[in-house]
Amino acid sequence: MFWDLRYWLRRTPWDTGITPPEVVEIVAQRFPRGGRAIDVGCGTGTNVAYLAQHGFDVVGIDASPRAIALARRRAQRAGLSADLRVGDVARLERLPPDAMFDLALDVGCFHSLSPIRRQAYALGLRAHMQHAGVYLLYAFGPQKLGWRTVGVSPDEVGSLFANGFLVQDVKIGQDTGSGRSSVWYTLERV
C-alpha cells in the first residue's frame, strides 16, 4: 500500500510531530474538559496523543498499518489510552453504532480522497457526530497535479457536508511545508 510504504521509508512530510495551533485553540475554547473524539487519518498519532492528554476518549483511524503501529507505540510510551484502528476512512459506518463523537479532526486526509470516497466519508462522519459536535478539517485547496486535480474547494466542502453540518469558519492560508494553498474548516453538526 502506498501510505504504508511512505511510513516505512519515513517519507512523510505531513507527519511533523506537532499538534497544529488550530487544534490546540479549539480544544481550549470548546472542550476544556475533553469529551469523545475521532482523528480521521491519524497517522502516527500526534493529535491522538494530544487529545488523550487533554481528557478525550479518542479513536484514531488510518489506512496504514505501519502508521497505526507507530501511533500505538507513541500512546504506550506516553502512558495514554486510545483506540487506534487500521481502517478505511470512507467506511466510518463500520464503527460501532454507539461511537458518537463531540470532536472530529482531520488534518490532511480528506483532500487525498476521490470524490466518491469523500461522499462516503461525509455520510459516515455525520452518522457518528453528536448534535453540536465540532468537525475540524485541514485540507489543501484544489490544484492540478499532472492529469488530476487534488485538494478540495470551500464550495465542495460546503456541498458535501451540507446535509448535517453547518460551516462555521473557513480560514484560507498556505501550507508551511509544501507552500500549497490550504484551508482550515470548522463545521458544526446540526
pLDDT tens digits along 83-136: 999 999 999 988 988 999 999 999 999 998 999 999 999 999 999 999 999 999
8 A C-beta contact, residue 132 and residue 161: no
State the Cα–Cα distance between residues 127 and 124, nearest whole angstrom.
Answer: 5
The domain ranges of the chain are 2-189
Q: Is the pLDDT of residue 7 over 70?
A: no
Taking the domain 2-189, which CATH number applies? 3.40.50.150
State the Cα–Cα distance between residues 187 and 139, nearest whole angstrom.
Answer: 13
Which three three-digit cell numbers place residue 177?
511545508
- 3-class secondary-structure state, position 154: helix
What is the tens place of the pLDDT at every residue in 30-67? 999 999 999 999 999 999 999 999 999 999 999 999 99
Which three three-digit cell numbers place residue 87?
481502517
State the Cα–Cα distance between residues 9 and 151, nearest whole angstrom.
Answer: 24
Q: pTM for the complete prediction?
A: 0.91
What's residue 174's pLDDT? 80
What's residue 181's pLDDT? 80
Instruction: Say which residues have a Cβ less than 8 Å from residue 122's Cβ, sequence separation at least 6.
Output: 160, 161, 163
Q: Percentages helix, strand, coil for the chain, rounded to the nearest 5? A: 35, 30, 30
**Looking only at Cα atoms, what is the longest distance across the chain?**
46
What's residue 13's pLDDT? 61
- In whole angstroms, what separates CA 29 from the centre of its chain? 19
What is the tens place of the pLDDT at every residue in 134-167? 999 999 988 877 887 778 999 999 999 999 999 9
Which residue matches cell numbers 476512512?
89
